[in-house]
């Protein structure tokens, strides 16, 4: 772990041979299965068999179920995924309108889901955090989309004290999530010499924690001239600040509110004032992704770099497991001005989408690490990558 990975090929080898241990590869596969089974359970419970006897658009379905309008995005992701894998629900496209129709018997799911959860749990205690987060999404599906549409947004920004631990565990304890912070840290170690770092959407701290741990282990904390940690949740900023200042009292830090949907230079951060903009699973939150990237570019000094450690879509239209729960939040659903070429779905992008938007924002040397094609055989459900580019 101590060497710097300066080339994409070396980074790929490190991911394949060291980072993606068997438990990660197995857990990612099990999680895909768990998602399918949870979605079948929800389909069954909310009565889509009846409602889809005649083909319906997702907007019609959201209205029939009494859900908030934007729940159509949640239903779309769900039905898109199920219809691409099972015959019991069918996607019908006619005259530019997509509808879904119930077709055949709903498969059994309860005992298989229990089995998949046992297998996941058997991989290690921390995988219980993976299970909990999906189960929570299944349990609260109707409540979040119908009764209390801001419920998930409050949890994801630390405003529901009862569920604070759930979100912390989902972003930091779950090994499939912690991998994102480890990957970002290794990429920065290889690509960034030294200077001022701005972290966007730093939240519960997966990015800063893993990066400082790595630099500290190497005795190279002095490569960070100043670390500006930002988020839109004051609670997350305060709790991460508390932890980091206790562990790294001499590090020069700033702790700020920054909304990535507002130009950065309108939030008391000057143009050309940082050398690295870092985000772990946060850049995809941008509604207008190209505008956000242009603002990042303006904030960087010449030669500066963005590093985004991201959940990526291997298939640009396929729902990811965590979206079972994340799609219950307004911010995740509405995080996209869609574009048929570079953002066909909300929120997460594919690597091709990332290369496209970085180019549109004027960046050069855009790269996605690791080389996903190289990992196809050893890790078919690979889902994490670092997207980087230079001003």
Dihedral class, residue 203 (left if φ above 0, else alpha if ψ from -120 to 50, else beta): left
How many CA within 13 A on the CB side of residue 99?
14
Phi and psi at residue 370, in whole multiples of 5°? -80, 180
With respect to ligand SAM, which residue has the nearer C-beta, 99 or 313?
313
User: For residues 252-271, which are near ligand SAM according to CB under 6 A?
Assistant: 259-261
Judged by CB, which is closer to ligand SAM: 14, or 236?
236
Least CB distance from residue 367 to ligand SAM, whole Å?
Answer: 21
Q: Please tell me whether residue 300 adopts helix, strand or coil conformation.
A: strand
Of these, 11, 43, 127, 236, which contacts ligand SAM (CB under 6 A)?
Answer: 236
The reply on whether position 207 binds ligand SAM by CB under 6 A is: yes
Closest separation in Å from C-beta 88 to ligand SAM: 32
Q: Residue 292 CB, nearest distance to ligand SAM (Å)?
A: 9
Helix or strand run (H / E) with residue 9: helix 8-14
Q: What is the enclosing helix (H) or strand (E) of 360? A: helix 351-360
152 binds ligand SAM (CB under 6 A): no
Tell me the closest approach of the beta carbon of residue 156 to ligand SAM, in angstroms.
6
Q: Smallest gap, in angstroms, from Cβ of residue 285 to ligand SAM?
A: 4
Tell whether residue 282 is a contact of ligand SAM (CB under 6 A): yes
Residue 263 Cβ vs ligand SAM, minimum distance, rounded to whole Å: 12
Q: Which is nearer to ligand SAM, 172 or 351 (CB)?
A: 172
Binding mask 317-356 for ligand SAM (x = CB under 6 A): --------------x-------------------------
User: Which long-range CB contacts under 8 A does 63-72 form with residues at least 24 apart?
Assistant: 65/142, 65/145, 65/146, 66/146, 67/142, 67/145, 67/146, 68/145, 68/146, 68/149, 68/330, 70/330, 70/333, 70/334, 71/145, 71/146, 71/149, 71/333
What secondary structure does DSSP assign to 35-98, as a single string? HHHHHHHHHHHTTHHHHTSS-B-HHHHHHHTT--TTHHHHHHHHHHHHHHH-TTEEEEEETTEE
The gap between the terminal CA atoms of the chain, to the nearest Å, is 28
Q: Is 296 a binder of ligand SAM (CB under 6 A)?
A: no
Given candidates 137, 201, 304, 321, which one binds ligand SAM under the rule CB under 6 A?
201
User: Does residue 231 touch ligand SAM according to CB under 6 A?
Assistant: yes
Residue numbers at the binding site for ligand SAM (CB under 6 A): 157, 171-172, 200-207, 231-233, 236, 259-261, 280-282, 285, 331
């Amino acid at each position: 772990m101590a060497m710097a990975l300066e080339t994409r090929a070396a980074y790929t080898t490190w991911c394949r041979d060291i980072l993606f241990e068997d438990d990660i590869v197995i857990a990612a596969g099990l999680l895909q299965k768990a998602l399918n089974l949870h979605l079948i359970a929800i389909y069954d419970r909310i009565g889509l068999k009846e409602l889809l006897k005649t083909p319906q658009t997702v907007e019609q379905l959201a209205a029939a179920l009494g859900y908030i309008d934007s729940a159509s995005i949640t239903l779309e992701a769900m039905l898109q995924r199920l219809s691409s894998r099972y015959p019991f629900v069918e996607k019908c496209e006619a005259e530019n309108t997509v509808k879904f129709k119930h077709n055949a018997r709903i498969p059994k799911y309860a005992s298989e889901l229990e089995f998949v959860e046992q297998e996941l749990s058997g991989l290690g205690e921390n995988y219980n955090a993976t299970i909990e987060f999906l189960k929570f999404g299944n349990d609260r599906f109707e409540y979040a989309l119908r009764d209390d549409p801001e419920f998930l947004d409050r949890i994801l920004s630390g405003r529901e004290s009862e569920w604070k631990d759930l979100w912390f565990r989902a972003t930091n304890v779950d090994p499939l999530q912690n991998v994102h912070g480890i990957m970002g840290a290794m990429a920065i170690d290889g690509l960034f010499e030294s200077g001022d770092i701005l972290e966007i959407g730093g939240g519960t701290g997966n990015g800063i924690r893993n990066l400082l741990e790595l630099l500290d282990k190497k005795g190279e904390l002095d490569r960070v001239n100043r670390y500006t940690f930002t988020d839109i949740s004051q609670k997350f900023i305060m709790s991460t600040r508390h932890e980091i200042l206790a562990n790294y009292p001499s590090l020069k830090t700033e702790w700020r509110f920054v909304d990535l949907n507002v130009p950065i230079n309108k939030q008391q951060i000057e143009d050309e004032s940082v050398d690295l903009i870092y985000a772990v699973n946060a850049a995809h939150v941008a509604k207008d992704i190209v505008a956000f990237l242009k603002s990042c570019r303006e904030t960087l000094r010449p030669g500066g770099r963005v590093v985004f450690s991201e959940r990526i879509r291997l298939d640009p239209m396929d729902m990811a497991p965590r979206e079972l729960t994340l799609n219950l939040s307004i911010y995740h659903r509405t995080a996209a001005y869609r574009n048929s070429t570079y953002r066909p779905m909300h929120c997460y992008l594919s690597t091709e989408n990332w290369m496209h938007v970085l180019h549109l924002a004027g960046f050069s040397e855009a790269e996605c690490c690791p080389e996903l094609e190289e990992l196809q055989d050893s890790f078919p459900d690979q889902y994490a990558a670092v997207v980087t580019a230079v001003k």
